[in-house]
Amino acid sequence: MNQSRRTLLKSAVALGAVPVLPALAACSGGDPAGAPENSKATSLGSGLADAVPKSGIQAMVDGFQRSSGDTVRLNVMPRQQLIDNVSTYLQSNPEDVITWFAGYRMRYYAGKGLLAPIDDVWEKVGKNFGTGLADASSYEGKKYLVPNYNYPWVVFYRKSVWQQHGYEVPATWDALLALCARMKKDGLTPIAFGDKDGWPAMGTFDYLNMRTNGYQFHVDLCAHKESWDSPKVQAVFDNWKQLLPYQDTGALGATWQQAARSLASKKSGMYLIGTFLLQELTDKAVVDDLDFFAFPEIAVEGTDAVEAPIDGFVMAKRAEKNQAAKDFLAYLGTGKAQDAYAAKDPSNLQTAADADRSTFSPIQKKAAELIANAKSVSQFFDRDALPAMANNVMIPALQSFLKDGKIDIKGLETQAKTLYASA
């Protein structure tokens, strides 16, 4: 490190400089004309930079180039970079098609006019997607997203451990608590949990909230149409308090990957996490021994709601008139394209109805059924809510709740008011 008084000034002020960038970007405005209507070229900005998903995206691009003769320029950037800089990116010189997420994250930018509606693409591929997916891809009656894959959050367990102790899948909240108490007596950590990164706890919050107050409340709370300072939110945390002693008490120092190892090594009885768990656990003996169940019902709507974040593709506003981009998006919505992706990255579930499901593992089949039977599909708190709310408010609030079981819902509401007012 290089220290001097001037370096300090620079760093202190560089922090201040950041908000200026979007402003400068806004001034430049990119190329207003965009590509001509009969263009044979389009481009894809992909945030899937890890080796496996990257090869999946490449397979999709190759497939489209072969079948259409159009060319696709692929720009791969680190996922976090895309997420962190998306406002600037969308306002400057983005690729035509961009990997993105459903939920508030899509609706917000659609509402700001930075994404192009793609209803004409949906006319071609719409039959591939059910109402849950269609709703998740819409904003104010227009479609903005072509879903690629999704993955549900479920409660994983090891069959051999459960057989050994004679556990049964809990269908209700009371049964879950009773099971946890039994596991604790048997010397297991009932629920594996790693929240060092802050976001995994949102999965528990979302399920407790949807099971206690229903799906619509989750959506409205995330959009801040409901107040945080309400008995309903308090009830969620009251329920959580009952579960807290059974979640790994070392959660705040562990990542979700470390928690996964605790399940794999049979130290923990269950693990509430997305099916991306299977990317982490690759030992075949462990994978074959895994099973899962849906988060049990608590008060309302049974187990109707499933948390299953959807990853897909959106189109930048400036590519609105590029026919090649639209053709590309239509191709991405076909089972064929999604199969090409899934052949490389089988940990997620294709969303298109005509995708090939014969290669699914038993767990994938079960996960696909779970989503298909769900009446409503939530997108995870940090995709359904204002990112600043998720990042700056919920992460510290939930981490402090895990510490001592205390939550200040009034404080959550005051913070939410300020942040949503700035959005």
Partner 1 sequence: MTQTTAPAPVAAPAASPAPRARSGRVRRLTGTDRLVLGVMIGVPTLIQAVLIWIPTLLSIGLSFTRWNGLALSDIHSAGLANYRFAVDEYPPFWPAVWHNVIWLVFLAGIATPLGVVLAVLLDQKIRFTRLYQSIFFTPVMLSLVLVGIVWQLVYARDEGLLNNLLGTAGTPSAVDWFGDPHVNLWAALVATAWRHAGYIMVLYLAGLKGLDPSLREAAAIDGANDRQTLFKVVFPAMRQINVVVVVITLIEALRAFDIAYVINRGTNGLELLSILVIQNLVGEGQVIGVGSALAVLLLVVSLVPIVAYLIRTFRRAD
Residues forming contacts to partner 1 in the complex (CB under 8 A) are 1, 3, 5-6, 8-20, 22-23, 26, 80, 83-85, 87, 91, 112, 114, 196-198, 250-254, 258, 382, 387-388, 390-392, 395-397, 399-400, 403, 408, 411, 414-415, 418-419, 421-423
Rounded to a whole number of angstroms, the minimum distance from the CB of residue 16 to partner 1 is 3
- 421 by Cβ neighbours in 10 Å (0-12 / 13-18 / 19+) ranks as exposed
User: Between 180 and 419, whose beta carbon lies closer to partner 1?
Assistant: 419
Rounded to a whole number of angstroms, the minimum distance from the CB of residue 399 to partner 1 is 4
- 89 by Cβ neighbours in 10 Å (0-12 / 13-18 / 19+) ranks as buried
User: Between 303 and 415, whose beta carbon lies closer to partner 1?
Assistant: 415
Rounded to a whole number of angstroms, the minimum distance from the CB of residue 161 to partner 1 is 18
Rounded to a whole number of angstroms, the minimum distance from the CB of residue 174 to partner 1 is 27
User: Between 108 and 293, whose beta carbon lies closer to partner 1?
Assistant: 108
Rounded to a whole number of angstroms, the minimum distance from the CB of residue 175 to partner 1 is 27
User: Between 17 and 285, whose beta carbon lies closer to partner 1?
Assistant: 17
Residue type, 389: M
User: Between 195 and 339, whose beta carbon lies closer to partner 1?
Assistant: 195
Residue in this structure with the two tokens 């509401």, named with its chain if needed: 413
147-171 in b/e form (b: 16+ CB < 10 A) is bbbbbbbbbbbbeebbeeeebebbe
Who's near 18: CB < 8 A, 6+ residues apart? none
User: Between 374 and 416, whose beta carbon lies closer to partner 1?
Assistant: 416
Residue 267 φ then ψ, to 5°: -85, -25
Rounded to a whole number of angstroms, the minimum distance from the CB of residue 182 to partner 1 is 19
User: Between 18 and 285, whose beta carbon lies closer to partner 1?
Assistant: 18
Rounded to a whole number of angstroms, the minimum distance from the CB of residue 196 to partner 1 is 5
List the one residue out of 260, 117, 270 whose CA is nearest residue 182: 270
User: Between 84 and 369, whose beta carbon lies closer to partner 1?
Assistant: 84
Task: Provide the H-helix boundaries in 18-99.
Answer: 20-28, 51-68, 79-84, 86-91
User: Between 188 and 294, whose beta carbon lies closer to partner 1?
Assistant: 188
Q: Are 43 and 73 in contact (CB under 8 A)?
A: yes
Rounded to a whole number of angstroms, the minimum distance from the CB of residue 411 to partner 1 is 6
Please tell me the distance from the alpha carbon of residue 229 to that of residue 274, in angstroms, as a whole number: 29
Give the number of other CB atoms < 10 A from CB of residue 358: 5
User: What stretches of 359-406 adopt beta strand conformation (E)?
Assistant: 376-378
Task: Provide the H-helix boundaries in 214-306.
Answer: 215-222, 231-243, 256-264, 277-280, 284-288
Q: Are 124 and 143 in contact (CB under 8 A)?
A: no
Torsion of CA 382, 388, 199, 154, to 10 degrees: -10
User: What stretches of 92-240 adopt beta strand conformation (E)?
Assistant: 97-101, 138-139, 142-143, 145-150, 153-158, 189-192
Q: Are 292 and 157 in contact (CB under 8 A)?
A: yes
Rounded to a whole number of angstroms, the minimum distance from the CB of residue 92 to partner 1 is 12
User: Between 91 and 334, whose beta carbon lies closer to partner 1?
Assistant: 91
Rounded to a whole number of angstroms, the minimum distance from the CB of residue 111 to partner 1 is 10
CA count, 13 A, side-chain hemisphere, 400: 12
User: Between 8 and 299, whose beta carbon lies closer to partner 1?
Assistant: 8
Mapped onto helix, strand or coil, the DSSP state of residue 3 is coil
